[in-house]
């Protein structure tokens, strides 16, 4: 089975901290995505990547950046965490032009 692994299930960070969320997939997928999930809003795309060192903004990139130095790893970076970034963060991956995405279990981030 495809496995998408997020490094932490729960994180608590302080306002202003730099936060790294890590995601690793083991199926050689080209595409990787970061979404945030908020009640009543569904999932919204933050950033995505089609290949190593490539990245594109999603619908809500403000306050975030990403890094993809290796094909299997896609990192989400909160440069200076704020309380409005308290959310569930979901990583996903898919084969190029595939219609099926595989999701990690999510990281619930609380910024205090």
Site of interaction with other proteins (CB under 8 A): 4, 31, 33, 35, 37, 40-45, 48, 50, 58, 90, 92, 94, 96-101, 103-106
In the bound state with other proteins, the residue whose beta carbon lies nearer, of 58 and 63, is 58
In the bound state with other proteins, the residue whose beta carbon lies nearer, of 45 and 77, is 45
Yes or no: say if 5 and 104 are a contact pair by the CB < 8 Å rule.
Answer: yes
In the bound state with other proteins, the residue whose beta carbon lies nearer, of 23 and 81, is 23
Yes or no: say if 107 and 9 are a contact pair by the CB < 8 Å rule.
Answer: yes
Q: Which helix (H) or strand (E) holds 34?
A: strand 31-38
């Amino acid at each position: 089975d495809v496995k998408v692994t997020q490094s932490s299930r729960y994180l608590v960070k302080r306002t202003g901290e730099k936060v790294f969320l890590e995601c690793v997939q083991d199926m050689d997928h080209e595409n990787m995505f970061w979404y945030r999930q908020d009640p009543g809003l569904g999932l919204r795309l933050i950033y995505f990547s089609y290949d190593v060192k490539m990245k594109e903004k999603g619908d809500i990139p403000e306050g975030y950046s990403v890094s993809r130095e290796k094909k299997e790893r896609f990192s989400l970076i909160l440069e200076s965490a704020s309380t409005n970034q308290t959310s569930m963060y979901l990583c996903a991956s898919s084969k190029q032009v595939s219609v099926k995405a595989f999701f990690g279990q999510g990281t619930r981030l609380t910024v205090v």
